[in-house]
Structure 1
């Protein structure tokens, strides 16, 4: 009996020794593997870093990724003051060349536009989320991309956009009626963002599918929520796992699961709209639209994936940029009655106070044209334009950028370039575009892969801002507690890491300037 107990104790003691040894061995192996991974990663990062291009020193493994806090676009703008208008950063193991100077951006993105027609592939967006198709602005260059872009450019050039004016007018009228009704002619202050989201979504669906958005708040909220989730993933810096592959294996990383769910939900409503359009075309009751023209034109060689990519571009583009630009602008107008009055007088000089009349183009009231440009420049809601990849080698002065390199256009930095806009670059001053009508801005990007819908966006902003300022005095709430907000494009952006710069929440009042004339126009 005693011998058996001694044998058992010895056996158990041996087991303890063996388990401890295995644990120590495993920890040692994990430690050595981690050290090896760091050494190999740093060796690789050193190898792929572009020679002779300055840039900030990064951290091991992650590079400069986490140094971009708290506001990536502004951080990149500040780094340009130290490293120059063209420099490089390291995002994990990926070298990225940043253009933050207006002159350099225009000379390369326009002057060598053919070298920057490609787009980089990011793991979360291209491999996980975009399982079927992706928007024009995010798709790497191919024959399919070329076909889609050519079709979209034709559908949104100046003559085509002029044909959409009845849609723009109709939806602007509905927006103004909604603001007047919700605000009870200026007696109630409220946040106009929901009204703006409905109008812009409605307009993009009308132009793309030839049908108005159904009167279905649940559908609208679904589109808005899905597109917001999509923007967070589509952001050039939206996911660390795009630049640090090891993070894709983390059990705490939900990026891939969220991306798959966003894609599933998006395809449901996009396929619904496409199916309804095909049914209308078959019955011969469709209205003119981008998609119907593609379906009926035998010379347009687009398949369903191509058409889906165009639809994705239309819906995302409107909600990312138009809604936020208008939200920033309306809040600014409420804080700047002097600008409102100057714009109103300029509008009345052309159209009068009793009728808003037809709008032939976006240059009839030069002050409103300048106002639109200053809104686009100041708020620059797409601060980091969707990334490019070099299709060919690029030589800019002493800087050589080889084919296949990821390139960021820091539109925010370009729009804060003091050599272009002067020392009052942070002041909201529309007059700068009257003093120099050819003054550029970077809100739409530059070159061959710039925003294909910029003509449509300019027309929408011009018409909506003109109609709003003709119809209303936009005033602050009468409650002091509601007015604790500002519209400073840098300090007051609510989510600096989001694809689009989102303004703070606010409430304003829409007070009719001429209730009788406004009522007549709306009727």
Structure 2
């Protein structure tokens, strides 16, 4: 060892190397590697950019990813005004074509729907969280996806939804009763979101599995917490490592660890519900539902993974969209007594003041139909629809989008398109859908892979809003410190990067309009 040391120190090539010079050399080498990575990445990204499609200039490595702050959907909406109804952004190394105008979105997503069948594969969601199965709306196009979507669409079309009306009746009646009891006849103000979450979860589980949600608050809280964690990952912009691959190499990757844990917890309760469903089918004790129909119909060729994917879609869809849409709506109604009064009078004009009417009459009260559409348009809780990928080349005017390109539908921007909704597009005004009942909205997406459950969602919203506004005057809390809130979808959204737009916290009072009539309807 001594001989080796003497030999090294006597080497003229190493004689002048000191610890400080060694550190500087190492740092310089590391800097060279970083600069080389930046240069090579930028050259690669420049080749990925789609020719002849305008868009904002991005930053090195990350592209436009961090320019989307503070509110991605609104930033994309403003870029639509600058770059047009179709433009492109670069998220790290992924080019994305954004559709931000209603006309362009409908022309391509509906007019060329077969070209937008596919879904992009995002690392965190598809490779980590969905290692076993994924929901219908997030799965790449395949024969399995086609079978699942066809089954789900059949189970939630208009005739099928009609068969679920008894469930919807029972659950909305129970919600009205719960709100009345918690509010003590309007004497107590409270946040209704827990009650709404229970009702929507109960309904989706009943439609999917044929059994009500167990009376277990811990189970409900677990489902809500898991689905919230899932939404934070499922959002199209949920993880930087989806677009900047080098981030996946970082040790102690919290995003990856969280995704694995969410997947583990979700499979526990989904497998429980599936096992209980199979047991009821074998015992002949099942009720009509999606899963039971699939298990008993020999023509439905779905395996367990396919059925699991349908279940994921049902549970996630309700908690992502329905709960938040109703929360925004109820908070807005509390601040707009004029809308409540007109809705109540419209209901009474059709059914009288002593009845909320039969549940089968979906469009019997035109103002309620218009009100539901305006709630979906204005609040648009799924602001960036789940991303698509082009299944084949798309030609739209002078714009060419090659096969395999990721595509965003900015539903938030489409629902604020002044070319369609006029200068008051930001205003909550249900009357616009009375003036033009054919006026569209983008809340469910467009085309072949739009939300498969839109018929069920429309019926739920119609019944819930009609019965809520017939039953109660909804008023803001008068307690000190609990009345200082607003319901502006842009300014008051609590987590703009979340998959679903979450309203601010609020407390309201549910005061029965006619206590005797309400008691009679709840008891009926």
The bucket for the TM-score relative to the shorter chain is over 0.9
Instruction: Compare 310-319 and 347-356 and name the one that shifted more.
Output: 347-356
Q: How does 1:2-401 map to 2 (within 5 A)?
A: 17=17, 19-251=19-251, 253-401=253-401
Q: Which deviates more, 480-489 or 83-92? A: 480-489
- Residue ranges of structure 1 left out of the alignment (5+ in a row): 1-6
Q: Normalized against structure 2, the TM-score is what?
A: 0.96
Q: Which residue of 2 aligns with 1:3?
A: none
Q: Deviations over 1:200-232 (max 9, x none)?
A: 000000000000000000000000000000000
Counterpart for residue 439 of structure 1: 439
Q: Deviations over 1:88-120 (max 9, x none)?
A: 000001100000000000000000000000000
**CA 1:134–1:333: 2 relative to 1, 3 Å:** same
SS at match of 1:185: helix
**Shift of residue 356, structure 1, vs aligned partner:** 2.0
Q: Report the counterpart of residue 503 of structure 2 in structure 1.
A: 503
1:11-58 residue CA offsets vs partner (Å, 9 max, x unmatched)? 9xx899454454333222211111110011000000010000000000
Residues 390-469 of structure 1 aligned to structure 2 (within 5 Å): 390-469=390-469
Q: Could you tell me how far apart the structure 2 residues matched to 1:23 and 1:144 are?
A: 56
In 2, the alpha carbon distance for the partners of 1:245 and 1:303 equals 33
**C-alpha displacement of 1:415:** 0.2
User: Take 2:25 and 2:301, find their aligned partners in 1: how far apart are those partners?
Assistant: 62
C-alpha RMSD of the superposition = 1.6
Q: Mean Cα displacement is larger for which, 351-360 or 318-327? A: 351-360
Residue aligned with 2:395, SS: strand
Instruction: Give 1:253 shift.
Output: 3.6
> For residues 513 and 502 of structure 2, what CA distance do their matches in structure 1 show?
29
Deviation at 1:480, TM superposition (A): 4.2
Match of 1:4 in 2: none
Greater shift, 325-334 or 248-257, is seen at 248-257
The answer to whether the 8 Å contact 1:362/1:458 transfers is no
SS of the residue corresponding to residue 137 of structure 1 reads helix
For the residue of structure 1 that corresponds to 2:321, the secondary structure is helix
> What displacement does 1:378 show?
0.2
68-77 or 470-479: bigger deviation: 470-479
Distance in 2, Cα, partners of 1:325 & 1:92: 32
Specify every segment of 5 or more residues in structure 2 that has no aligned partner in the other structure, as ranges: 1-5
For 2:3, the equivalent position in structure 1 comes to: none
2:131 and 2:55 mapped to 1: Cα distance? 35
CA distance in structure 1 between the aligned counterparts of 2:300 and 2:157, rounded to whole angstroms = 16
> 1:357: Cα distance to partner?
3.0
Secondary structure, aligned partner of 1:395: strand
Contact residue 89 and residue 96 of structure 1 kept, 8 A: yes
Instruction: Determine the C-alpha separation between the residues in 1 that align with 2:248 and 2:210.
Output: 41
Q: Following the alignment from structure 1 to structure 2, what is the Cα–Cα distance between the partners of residues 220 and 486?
A: 28
Residue by residue over 1:255-310, the C-alpha shift from the partner in whole angstroms, topping out at 9 and shown as x without a partner, is 00000000000000000000000000000000100000000000000000000000
> C-alpha distance in 2, partners of 1:16/1:355?
96
Alpha-carbon separation, structure 2, partners of 1:518 and 1:473: 12
- SS of the residue corresponding to residue 197 of structure 2 reads helix
CA contact (8 A) 1:333 1:474 kept: yes
